[in-house]
Amino acid sequence: MKLGLEGKVVVVTGGTRGIGRAIAEAFAAEGAKVVVSSRSAGACAAAAEALGGVGVPCDVTKPEQVDALFEAVAREGGCDVFVANAGVSSSTFASELSREEMQRLLDVHYLGAVQGAQRAAEQMRGKGGGAILLVTSIWGFGAAAGTLAYGAAKAALAHAVKGLAVEWARDGIRVNGLAPGFVATDMTAELDERVKAKLVGRVPLRREAQASEMAGPAVFLCSDAASYVTGHVLFADGGERAR
């Protein structure tokens, strides 16, 4: 099956480590030209060298930096695929949660992702279409103690999948979402072992995912193999949401 990604310009925010890095590597393996971004200029440069792509530092909470990212993408030929993966974690309990922390989670996960999608779509329209992937989370569809800010931001992003898909279908732009479950990353490595055990215990497959296991679903949703799929959120959670 042809995925149709060779030579495509793929932009991955939060693409220098964890899930984003795994996704960027998978696109590069398919022959795409990958543009990775993160807040760290050094991390961007290192990832770009490893992938044979381009690195552009970008804090997605700063609109002018998102605009600058896509100006750089335009110089590479314009965006064909955009993966909004930049994120931060939060486990603050609701009674202790500040307005500032809630706003930061929305700024990164929702507003930054949607602005990126807007800029990507502008370039895609000039190329006859494209594919957008918003990386949400199973916590946008369910709750646990300490997930209020993170889950609310990811729930907003999941709605954006549907809203953007409906509006932009006429332009040949497909918009889908990926909702990972418990994935082994730098962020989850800091969790207490008892917390990890509890999280794994919720998963029918009885293990945490590796970041590389998110890459296949991501590439599929952005490829020609999913040409009739839009407005869909794919759960890659080991069966957790099946309960």
Catalytic residue selected from 27, 70, 82, 150 = 150
Q: Which residues, other chains included, contact 218 with Cβ-Cβ below 8 Å and sequence gap of 6+? A: 23, 26, 83, 133, 135, 178
**4: alpha, beta or left, given left = phi > 0 and alpha = psi -120 to 50?**
left
In the residue annotation, 150 being an active-site residue is answered as yes
- Catalytic center residues: 150
